[in-house]
Structure 1
């Protein structure tokens, strides 16, 4: 089982954890609301978990261009 962090904006892989067992509290997933979990966490058929986050480049772009927050996707 792998936990894969992907940027929700550009799609790049931010990081990957290859662990047989991981405590969700160690990842901070227990602090998410039910809605946030539903929007951010996707379980694949092979047992992998995809987590949608934001990479540093996209975070910088959003900081420099606050109006991008209004868009679902700002990278074309």
Structure 2
């Protein structure tokens, strides 16, 4: 099982944790409410967990163009 962090906007793989046993409270999952968990965490058929986050480049773009926050996807 791996935990793969990908950017929700551009799809870039931000990072991957390839550990068998992970305390998800260390990763901050216990701080998320149920709606946030449904939006951010996806369980794949191969056992991997995909986390939707945001990469540095997209975060910078959002900082320069705050109106992009209104869009589901701002990268065409």
Give the Cα separation in 2 of the matches to 1:68 and 1:43: 28
Provide the residue aligned with 1:43 in structure 2: 43
Provide the residue aligned with 1:3 in structure 2: 3
User: TM-score scaled to structure 1, two decimals?
Assistant: 0.98
Gaps of 5+ in 1: none
Q: When the two structures are aligned, how many residues end up with a matched partner?
A: 76
| Matched residue SS, 1:5 | strand
* Structure 1 consecutive aligned stretches of length 4 or more whose deviation exceeds 2 Å: none
Aligned-pair CA distance for 1:59: 0.3
* 1:16-41 Cα distance to aligned partner (Å, 9 max, x none): 00000101101001100100000000
What is the alpha-carbon root mean square deviation over aligned residues?
0.4
User: TM-score scaled to structure 2, two decimals?
Assistant: 0.98
Gaps of 5+ in 2: none
Provide the residue aligned with 2:21 in structure 1: 21
